[in-house]
A = this chain, B = another copy of it.
Amino acid sequence: MTFKELLEKNSIEAWEIYLPHISIDCVVFGFHEGSLKVLILKMKETELWGLPGGYVLKEEDLKTAAGRILEARTGAKDVYLQQFRVFGETNRSEAFFDHLPEGSFFKQRFISVGFYALVDYSKVQPVVDELSTDCVWRCIDTIPELMMDHQFILEQAQRTLRKQLVHKPIGYNLLPDKFTMPELQRLYEIILNKKLNRGNFYRKILRYDILVKLDETRKGGAHKAPDLYSFDLERYNTALKNGLNEVW
């Protein structure tokens, strides 16, 4: 079945089960070997890549829908998921489905709600759907051309992450349970896209009082074994809820 035939077939069911005009696009971030990765899909019969996305069932909460869409693509349940912006310009998606008949569900105007997810890279198994040939992790600085306004959606998710570093902790869901200070610093540097001074970073991050220094070190390297840390989850979650910084 061609991509077009598949969409035509799916359109009938889509009208029955989904809310029209509202879609969800997910920017899924993972952290692996010192770099920030994003999950992207390659659409069938085109050279274009896109973000994983989907629609909202008629009787389904928006956030539940985002969780369901993400689980289908990653196998991961209960991931950290946050809406960050709505993409509501006219003609943001219509042209992509230009070749479909007028009444097609997919050819309608869609206002898309962007969610970002922070997932444990090692726990995710990317899964293709029937409309795509590949579902892979790609480094954030080597993302190929994306379809529709997905490049813009990705940039906005990055921007949100960067802003939220000011008042939210980050790292849980992205780092393994035990990590070194340089690994945590590297995560901040990648999100902020700049080098941080090591001493300042240590001082600030310790002041947040969300880390526990473990009674073990990472062995195996040529250098002095670095200390391992983990997050104090109770304090981490409190900071996530109430915000980190008392700037004012």
Interface positions of A (Cβ within 8 A of B): 19-22, 56, 58-63, 65, 83, 85-86, 88-90, 109, 111, 113, 163, 165-167, 188, 192, 196, 201, 204, 243, 245, 247-248
Contacts and interface: CB of A to CB of B under 8 A. Distances in A.
A86 B88 contact: no
15 contacts: A21-B22, A22-B111, A61-B89, A62-B89, A63-B88, A65-B88, A83-B86, A86-B113, A165-B248, A166-B245, A166-B248, A192-B248, A196-B248, A201-B248, A245-B247
Given A19-B109, A111-B22, A248-B192, A86 B62 contact: yes
B88 A113 contact: yes
A88 B61 contact: yes
A243 B163 CA distance: 8
Most buried by B among A21, A59, A192, A248: A248
The 5 closest A-B pairs by CB, nearest first: A62-B88, A166-B247, A61-B89, A19-B21, A86-B113
A90 to B, nearest CB: 6
